[in-house]
Amino acid sequence: MTPKPLARNELWDIASTQHGFVTAQQATESGITKQALQMLVHRGTVQRVTHGVYRFPQYPVGEHDQLMLAVLWTRVPEAVLSHETALDCYGISDVNPNRIHVTVGKHRRFRRASGRDYIVHFENLESNQIGWWQEIPTVTPATAIEQCIAGGTPTYLLRQAIERGHAQGFLKANERYALANKLEARGE
């Protein structure tokens, strides 16, 4: 008979792909009871960061941890970094968002405490609109630019994103052209 893996090892496997974070929902889905999770908190194996999100304190702190936390804070599996935050992540614009933008599905409705650092957008995204940046689910650069065109980001920052995005290989020539046309149409 094979012994059941320890709860901390199960959670560590998940957390190691999420900058050291794990959600209570992920623990439950792995067969870890709420009581076992609370015991890990009591022992200091994991620390509660915000409601439903925990972190292994021995996992190295990284510069992008707050972005991963923003996605997990929603406790929604399809949550992704988006809008100006995504432009900033990809480094294709000098945009400097004062809050972290996260997009979830249109059907999601929730209220979360401690969310003053986040702007939550509701949009159903196709799988080809979602990518990964630093192991964090993030909309593609083209999708981020489209979102920012619709959201009113200043034109000069979007022109910069389109040009840099193309120069850095994030946008194909046809995407560059289409986005430039959408941006110009917005200004009319």
Can you tell me the distance from the alpha carbon of 91 to that of 88, in angstroms, rounded to the nearest whole number? 5
Q: Report domain extents, the chain.
A: 7-55, 65-187
The whole-angstrom separation of Cα 31 and Cα 185 is 52
User: Residue 64 has which token pair?
Assistant: 């992008």
What is the average pLDDT score of the chain?
92
pTM: 0.90
β partners of residue 131: 138
Query: Which of these, 132, 127, 136, lies nearest to 63 by C-alpha position?
Result: 136
What 3-state class would DSSP assign to 55? strand
Report the C-alpha gap between 33 and 39 in whole angstroms.
10
- Between CA 39 and CA 35 the distance in angstroms is 6
Measured distance CA(72)–CA(21) in Å, rounded: 8
Distance (Å, rounded) from C-alpha 145 to C-alpha 62?
26
What is the distance between the alpha carbons of residues 30 and 11, in angstroms, rounded to a whole number?
8
Is-contact 87 55, C-beta < 8 A? Answer: no
In CATH, what class is 7-55?
mainly alpha
Q: Please list the pLDDT of the chain residue by residue as tens digits (188 residues).
A: 566 678 888 899 999 999 999 999 999 999 999 999 999 999 999 999 998 999 999 999 999 999 999 999 998 999 999 999 999 999 999 999 999 999 999 998 766 666 789 999 999 999 999 999 999 999 999 999 999 999 999 999 999 999 999 999 999 999 999 999 999 998 75
- Strand bridging mode 118-122 / 100-104: parallel
Query: What are the phi and psi torsion angles at 48 (to 5°)?
Result: -75, 125
Tell me the C-alpha distance between 100 and 105, whole Å: 17
Structure tokens at 180: 């430039």
Residue 2: predicted pLDDT: 60
Tens digit of each residue's pLDDT (9 = 90 or more) over 135-188: 999 999 999 999 999 999 999 999 999 999 999 999 999 999 999 999 999 875
